[in-house]
Amino acid sequence: MLVKWIRCTVVDRRGFERGQRKWAGLLGEPGFRGQGGGWSRGRPEVAHVFAFWENRVFYDSFMARAHDRLAAEQSGTYSSIQVKLFEYRFDVKTGFEPRFTDADVVRVAHSKVHEDRVEHFALMQERVWNPAMAGSPGMLRGVFGEAPGHEFLVLSMWQSSAERGKYRAGSIERLTQRARTEDDVAAVTGDVVQLEPSWTV
């Protein structure tokens, strides 16, 4: 599975939202698995969109055909856009599906990892972080993906920001020490995204 993460700095919120709803045109595209997104909780001008495709072949075919027509609906509504593609590596919790209807917030964490620490980082995600998140009330499901250049994405879906807050409060520091995250990671950025139901495809 291919995970696409789009981050936009929006200048025309209403126009952007109107254009976002047009992405319903993705339904029926071969290999398309689902899409959702919303606004950053910390930076109200930043929008995040997450799309899921069966594989790179289907995705490339869509980009060559229908993408530009759909994207034209949002032309001029944002001042910057960043797009990254990640190959699925494993679930966070079990049985990941690209569904957004039962989630309220998404937490996204993007890490650049030292080359010689990549396997340790992935192992710690599997053995330390995943069980901790999976055991947190309100954590629904998530996905761990990898991009060229030793970049990783952890996407987790939560029933509510209050539930996510409970997980964050007690455990982050302890888990970071246990996983020796600071030894692995060169840079990390993240955000909490308030999902917009009308953006879900």
What's residue 169's pLDDT? 55
Total domains in the fold of the chain: 1
Its domain, for residue 76, covers: 2-195
The answer to whether residue 183 sits within a structural domain is yes
pLDDT bucket at 18, cuts 50 / 70 / 90:
very high
What's residue 135's pLDDT? 87
In angstroms, the Cα distances linking 72 to 19, 23, 85, 161 are 8, 11, 21, 33
The answer to whether residue 201 sits within a structural domain is no
Q: Which residue has the higher pLDDT, 121 or 177?
A: 121
The answer to whether residue 67 sits within a structural domain is yes
**Predicted TM-score (pTM) of this structure:** 0.94
* Type and span of the H or E element at 65: helix 56-65
The three-state secondary structure class of 86 is strand
* CATH, residue 110: 3.30.70.100
Q: If you average pLDDT over every residue of the chain, what do you get?
A: 94
pLDDT in tens, 110-144: 999 999 999 999 999 999 999 988 888 889 999 99
